Structure 1
Amino acid sequence: MTGATQIAVVSAGLSDPSSTRLLADRILQAVTKDLAGRGTETSSRVFELRDFAHDITNSVLTGFAPKPLAEMNDFVAGADAVVVVSPIFSTSYSGLFKSWVDALDRDALAGMPVLLAATAGTPRHSLAIDYAMRPLFTYLHAEPVSTGVFASSDDWGESADRVAPLQQRIDRAARELADRMTEAERAVPADPFSPESYLGENGSFADLLANPPVR
């Protein structure tokens, strides 16, 4: 990779301020700190989905993303890693979060290291990351790290016995994401319709015409 490593952070919180954005900021800080300790320079952008709510709706209805949403999605697709944080409503990610995912190009997150995180009012929703969010991103061929970060309202209390475990989860997930980012270049699926997919590295169009592929 050349230049600074890019991290895209997507927060689906609806209020301002929101615990979802607070968690997103804490995770980004931990990932940046971990990568800095490895000598890796980073740049990042945090996107609040509520700022794109109308564009997301229009994209779902028309099939075309308005310019602000398209630019956001391009940054996410071109990043070296993505952090996504959604509030949990009715045992799953928010409708706004899912609508944004629906507005992404189908292969935008293929091979992408992703850190999954969620917030809710009660710890009873802590498994939503694994039974709702993880299957969604696996379907998109992203590569979620093993540790998800869940924070309930109690995790933002003043008592150290609650705040410390949350930070420990954040640090562990951040370390896993940093490991994934520094292991190797992101593997992007090959375009099956590109000339290279038919010709190989040393082939020619003459070879292709003489021996057309059977598919």
Structure 2
Amino acid sequence: MSTRRTLAVVTAGLSQPSSSRLLADRLATATADGLLEAGQETDVEVVELREHAHAIVDAMLTRFPSGELATALDTVTGADGLVMVSPLFTTTYSGLFKSFVDVIDPDALTGKPVLLGATGGTSRHSLALDYSMRPLLTYLRTQVVPTAVFAATDDWAGQDGSDALTRRISRAGRELAAAVASRPAATGQDDPFGDTPDFAQLLGGS
């Protein structure tokens, strides 16, 4: 019986469809292929941050994520590995991406394998992956795989560089798959309030 892994895909694209989602999907597929070669099947769960934008702002103000955002956070913190992709604005990750990271418990991602990706207009912005995104996830003590993937507009237009992008995606996916496969399967996050009685129990004298 093969081991099943959960891969959470976080994408901060603002349009629909977005190049960030396209890149994230390809990175997830490459990772799943690598895990399948290792005899491990993958369940992929996608978190589209644009769908949680208002809830993320509310959580930053109240420090209490709720509803679908809380579910999304559980998906991310309980996964065996993460693919995280953001568009680049003014040479760094988007505000939406950073705000989501800010509402994650600072200790919840410790040791978790992460593959980083970014999209932007031209390749001259690609260094943002290493001087902004990588330090951010390293600060959270994640295990960021060596290869990060940047996709410029030309990469999606079928011009020179598309083959190089495919090779980078494949290499990055194999690295994340190897990192995930080498670790025990995630068991999810324990609910710190799981043993707390609800109001109905209290009123009923339970």
Q: TM-score, normalised by structure 2?
A: 0.87
Q: Distance in 1 between matches of 2:8 and 2:129?
A: 19
Q: How far apart are residue 22 of structure 1 and its match?
A: 0.5
Shift of 1:186: 7.1
SS in 2 for 1:32: helix
The structure with the larger Rg is 1
Match of 1:39 in 2: 39
CA deviation vs aligned residue, 1:1-51 (integer Å, no higher than 9, x gap)? x95100000000000111000000111111111111221111010111000
Q: Match of 2:95?
A: 95
CA distance in 2, matches of 1:92, 1:145: 19
How many residues in Structure 1 have an aligned counterpart in Structure 2? 186
Structure 1: distance between partners of 2:12 and 2:71: 17
Q: What is the identity percentage for the equivalent residue pairs of Structure 1 and Structure 2?
A: 53
CA distance in 2: counterparts of 1:154 and 1:81, whole angstroms = 29
C-alpha distance after superposition, 1:40-79 (max 9, x if no partner): 1110101110000011000001111022111111111110
Q: TM-score scaled by structure 1? A: 0.83
Q: Does 1:177 align with 2:176?
A: yes
**Is the Cα contact below 8 Å between 1:156 and 1:162 reproduced in 2?**
no
Cα offsets for 1:170-206 (capped at 9, x unmatched): 0000011111111232799xxxxxxxxxxxxxxxxxx
| Partner amino acid, structure 2, of 1:34 | G
Letter of the aligned partner of 1:78 in structure 2? G
Segments of structure 2 that go 5 or more residues without pairing to the other structure are 188-206
Quick check: 1:9–1:84 contact (8 Å CA) kept in 2?
A: yes
Amino acid across the alignment from 1:48: E
Equivalence for 2:9 = 9
- Equivalence for 1:19: 19
- Give the aligned CA root-mean-square deviation in angstroms: 1.6
Amino acid corresponding to residue 171 of structure 1 in structure 2:
S
Aligned to 1:200: none
Query: Structure 1's 187 and 38: CA in aligned 2 closer, same or farther, altered over 3 A?
Result: closer
Q: How many Å apart are 1:108 and its aligned residue?
A: 1.3
Relative CO higher for 1 or 2, CA cutoff 8 Å, sep ≥ 6? 2
- The list of structure 1 runs, each at least 4 consecutive aligned residues, that deviate by more than 3 angstroms after superposition, is none
